[in-house]
Amino acid sequence: MKFEEPAGQNLFDRAKIVGKSTPRIDGPLKVSGRAPYAYERHDVAPNQAYGWIVGSAIAKGRITAMNLADARRAPGVLGIVAATEHKPVGTSRFNHAPLFGGTEIAHYHQAIAVVVAETFEQARAAAGLIRTEYADGEGSFDLAKVAPGAPLASEKLPDYNRLGDFQAAFASAPVTVDQRYTTPDEAHAMMEPFATIAAWEGDALTIWTSNQMVAWSKRALASILGMPADKIRVDSPYVGGGFGGKLFIRADAVMAALAAKAVNRPVKLAMQRPLMFNNSTHRPATIQRVRLGAGRDGRITAIAHENWSGNITGEDGENATLQTPKLYTGANRLLENRTAQLDLPEGNAMRAPGEAPGHMALEVAMDELAEALGMDPVELRIVNDAKGNLPGEPEMKISDRNLERCLRTGAERFGWSARKAAPAQMREGRKLVGLGVAAGYRAAPTQKSAARVSLGADGTIAVETDMTDIGTGSYTIIAQTAAEAMGVPLNRVRVDLGDSLSPVSAGSGGQWGAASSTAGVYAACVNLRRMIGEKLGFDGDAATFANGHATLGEQSHALSDAGALSATGEMEFGAFQKEYDIGTYAAHFAEVAVDAYTGETSIRRMLSVCDAGRIINPLSARSQVIGAMVMAAGATLTEDLHVDKRFGYFANHDLASYEVPVHADIPSQECIFLDTLDPMISPLKAKGVGELGICGPGAAIANAVYNATGIRMRDYPLTLDKYLDRLPAIA
């Protein structure tokens, strides 16, 4: 099925199940421990042996020797696959640094061996007996040092990156801001580690793993192992968080596959937590310079956002400029994104790549501009909201954009009018209290997506697709969509996800999963309805499906009358979408209290007002947004991969020293969804929110800290060592 024109009125506009808050259908399995995650799949292959990955102890150079003899003799050891004895694996378009690269070391904790034993403890103990010698190489680890020489990123720059004459407009603007902001390297730090069970049957490989993009990963693994993709099955039905870290095949899958081959037994392994931060990908640090020039009426006339980041690839860094041309007008514009070559572990997508740290600079600069203008920061954003059309993209229409409504609704609901414009004015005992706001933009992409929908002889519906649920609620929104389209109650729908034997879906990434996968399920349902019609002798397209029956005129049939039937369908998104800027929008608010004596910042309240079209399941969408708000709080206040610039690695590589906040750290989090519909995105008129939720809240918190204390910090995270000596005296 092709989505070739804007959606008109359809069954989702009369929906009884889609659009209603629905508890997760997989919830009972999860809370009772019966939803098997990758490492727990004891039943899928008999006689599983345990693997333990060994990581390189240097960041750059080569291995000169590995003494494996003691480890091989250790109790229970079945085999060792080591870099000195095994040829490097191939690469794929989804990773640059080798996942198992022979004796050349590209980054710290690169996998250099896997030890396989009868038990986990035996594998771990034996791994400790391997003696590796290295020849150190020279590496480049300091972004600030190499940033000035970084070339413009190789991606083709859209024309709208340069508009008018920025320099002249900025020079003549009566009110200006020119500031530099930095964001550190960040880790996905998902709860479930990378984990894989691998088993070979002849030349065919199955991996039970934890992965966001099943079809990508099947292809990547084929390329890495040098084998045909059709000999690989990837199964990833439950994923305990990914945040972009599990978009790709990583070393757990590769090492498990090599190990299983070597010992001729299924091998299970989970990447040890302390290895995850340097072995896998991370969000690269950024240095950002933002210049804003405005008239006294607050209208921005000049806007420049320059970004520097680094990556082992020398390209594809963290482009923090992406949201800037989408959020605000400004006739004169300069956007530049540069990537330096670094020898740190590979940087890649992490939740709202580019935009998440981009908002942390742009939306603080907007706060600084509001203060310089003496203007309310909510009003400043409304004055400059790129309604109607996007400057520099005259041929581009905006599909549906309600940023102003987000801002006004949020200001009212949050009690914004209680804010004092001058900082450090609100005090409760020893607490300095402040409020902050930020706007948010995140694109709403779509990817073609397929599913198989089957009618059982008992009238139940089964959906199969390789779509993943990474904690997002995919199971539930897919069940809601199928229940709605087939006219059966939710408890009559079964959903099977994450298996590469099922039709290829959009997968979970880039905030495209919800919109795309539900559209694919709808396409399959349309085909199944036709099939049922053919079987029973009516026009399935014209019939109404409700209460387990298909009805057309005088005719009404129970679905079960059609017997067992199965249909696949795929939604392809047509070229007309390219004429539209299809985005999601938010206004984020935060209230913080900073202890004037200790400097401790606590977040008291957060609110996000989101404009993302139809919300298929407000309950799970809310969970997405408030989870993203917590992640934004981490980026602003605690999360920071410390680069050891001598030895080239992230020094704090576990969850004791890489601090992530949790929901309990923030007593009140609210999320409001506007009742919008976007007919340009899909028949369901629904857009994703999982990444919108991290685009802006961090800046709202930073702006609240400024409002509380009068101390403007531009180097994240805002840890108290950066401001303790500057807190206002309150005694």
Whichever of 325 and 510 has its CB closer to ligand MOS, that residue is 510
Which stretch, 157-165, 260-268, 345-353, 374-382, contacts ligand MOS (CB under 6 A)?
A: 345-353
| Residue 96: CB minimum distance to ligand MOS, A | 17
End-to-end C-alpha distance for the chain, whole angstroms: 69
Asked if 244 touches ligand MOS (CB under 6 A), the answer is yes
Asked if 444 touches ligand MOS (CB under 6 A), the answer is no
Whichever of 242 and 317 has its CB closer to ligand MOS, that residue is 242
Whichever of 22 and 210 has its CB closer to ligand MOS, that residue is 210
Asked if 349 touches ligand MOS (CB under 6 A), the answer is yes
Whichever of 242 and 698 has its CB closer to ligand MOS, that residue is 242
Residues 71-110 that bind ligand MOS (CB under 6 A): none
Whichever of 439 and 506 has its CB closer to ligand MOS, that residue is 506
Distance in angstroms (rounded) separating the CA atoms of residues 616 and 688: 9
Which stretch, 347-355, 519-527, 576-584, 647-655, contacts ligand MOS (CB under 6 A)?
A: 347-355
Distance in angstroms (rounded) separating the CA atoms of residues 435 and 719: 18
Asked if 350 touches ligand MOS (CB under 6 A), the answer is yes
| Residue 216: CB minimum distance to ligand MOS, A | 11
| Residue 213: CB minimum distance to ligand MOS, A | 8
Extract the tokens encoding 386. 């790129």
Whichever of 607 and 630 has its CB closer to ligand MOS, that residue is 630
Which stretch, 348-356, 429-437, 476-484, 671-679, contacts ligand MOS (CB under 6 A)?
A: 348-356
Which stretch, 134-142, 290-298, 316-324, 349-357, contacts ligand MOS (CB under 6 A)?
A: 349-357
Name every residue whose Cβ is closer than 8 Å to that of residue 130 and which is 6 or more positions away in sequence: 54, 66, 67, 68, 70, 71, 80, 82, 113, 115
| Residue 322: CB minimum distance to ligand MOS, A | 13
Instruction: HSE, CB side, 13 Å, CA atoms: give it for residue 636.
Output: 34
Give the CB-nearest residue to ligand MOS: 244
Secondary structure (DSSP) of 537-595: TS-TTTSEEETTEEEETTEEEEGGGG-SEEEEEEEEE-GGGGGEE-EEEEEEEEEEEEE
Q: Judge whether 541 and 11 are in contact, CB under 8 Å.
A: no
Q: What is the CA angle 203-204-207, rounded to 5?
A: 135
| Residue 316: CB minimum distance to ligand MOS, A | 13
| Residue 510: CB minimum distance to ligand MOS, A | 4
| Residue 443: CB minimum distance to ligand MOS, A | 11
Which residues in 37-50 are b (16+ Cβ under 10 Å) and which e?
bbbbbeeebeebbb
Beta strands across the sheet bearing 300-311: 162-163, 332-341, 300-311, 286-294, 175-183
At residue 190, the 3 state secondary structure works out as coil
Among 71, 247, 322, 479, binds ligand MOS (CB under 6 A): 247
Which stretch, 28-36, 294-302, 346-354, 418-426, contacts ligand MOS (CB under 6 A)?
A: 346-354
Distance in angstroms (rounded) separating the CA atoms of residues 75 and 117: 8
Distance in angstroms (rounded) separating the CA atoms of residues 364 and 680: 32
Asked if 695 touches ligand MOS (CB under 6 A), the answer is no
| Residue 347: CB minimum distance to ligand MOS, A | 12
Whichever of 509 and 569 has its CB closer to ligand MOS, that residue is 509
Whichever of 349 and 615 has its CB closer to ligand MOS, that residue is 349
Q: Judge whether 445 and 510 are in contact, CB under 8 Å.
A: yes
At residue 21, the 3 state secondary structure works out as coil
Asked if 184 touches ligand MOS (CB under 6 A), the answer is no
CA distances 140 to 101, 149, 243, 342, 345, Å, are 19, 13, 27, 5, 11
| Residue 573: CB minimum distance to ligand MOS, A | 17
Set 186, 363, 484, 691: catalytic member: 691
Q: Judge whether 460 and 482 are in contact, CB under 8 Å.
A: no
The backbone region for 376, taken as left when phi is positive above 0, alpha when psi lies in -120 to 50, beta otherwise, is beta
| Residue 457: CB minimum distance to ligand MOS, A | 39
Amino acid at 558: A
Instruction: HSE, CB side, 13 Å, CA atoms: give it for residue 207.
Output: 34
Distance in angstroms (rounded) separating the CA atoms of residues 642 and 75: 37
Q: Is beta strand 300-311 parallel, antiparallel or unpaired with respect to 286-294? A: antiparallel
| Residue 212: CB minimum distance to ligand MOS, A | 6
Among 193, 345, 353, 392, binds ligand MOS (CB under 6 A): 353
Q: What is the CA angle 21-443-368, rounded to 5?
A: 105
Whichever of 366 and 467 has its CB closer to ligand MOS, that residue is 467
Which stretch, 32-40, 127-135, 238-246, 372-380, contacts ligand MOS (CB under 6 A)?
A: 238-246
At residue 10, the 3 state secondary structure works out as coil
Among 212, 281, 332, 707, binds ligand MOS (CB under 6 A): 212
Distance in angstroms (rounded) separating the CA atoms of residues 680 and 515: 11
User: How many residues in the shown chain lie near ligand MOS by CB under 6 A?
Assistant: 11
Whichever of 212 and 480 has its CB closer to ligand MOS, that residue is 212
| Residue 348: CB minimum distance to ligand MOS, A | 8
Asked if 206 touches ligand MOS (CB under 6 A), the answer is no
CB atoms within 10 A of CB 96: 18
Q: Is 4 a catalytic residue?
A: no
Extract the tokens encoding 677. 């519909």
Asked if 692 touches ligand MOS (CB under 6 A), the answer is no
| Residue 624: CB minimum distance to ligand MOS, A | 12
Whether a cis peptide bond, with omega within 30° of 0, leads into 728 is: no
Asked if 351 touches ligand MOS (CB under 6 A), the answer is yes
Whichever of 79 and 509 has its CB closer to ligand MOS, that residue is 509
Q: Judge whether 143 and 310 are in contact, CB under 8 Å.
A: yes
Asked if 513 touches ligand MOS (CB under 6 A), the answer is no
Extract the tokens encoding 451. 């599913």
Among 139, 325, 509, 696, binds ligand MOS (CB under 6 A): 509
Whichever of 392 and 510 has its CB closer to ligand MOS, that residue is 510
Which stretch, 163-171, 243-251, 334-342, 493-501, contacts ligand MOS (CB under 6 A)?
A: 243-251
Binding mask 292-331 for ligand MOS (x = CB under 6 A): ----------------------------------------
Which stretch, 242-250, 258-266, 329-337, 369-377, contacts ligand MOS (CB under 6 A)?
A: 242-250
Whichever of 487 and 688 has its CB closer to ligand MOS, that residue is 688
Binding mask 542-581 for ligand MOS (x = CB under 6 A): ----------------------------------------
Name every residue whose Cβ is closer than 8 Å to that of residue 640 and which is 6 or more positions away in sequence: 184, 185, 186, 652, 658, 716, 717, 719
Q: Is beta strand 61-67 parallel, antiparallel or unpaired with respect to 131-136? A: antiparallel
Q: Judge whether 282 and 187 are in contact, CB under 8 Å.
A: yes
Among 392, 510, 599, 648, binds ligand MOS (CB under 6 A): 510
Distance in angstroms (rounded) separating the CA atoms of residues 696 and 583: 14
Which residues belong to the active site?
Answer: 691
- Which residues lie near ligand MOS (CB under 6 A)? 212, 242-244, 247, 349-351, 353, 509-510
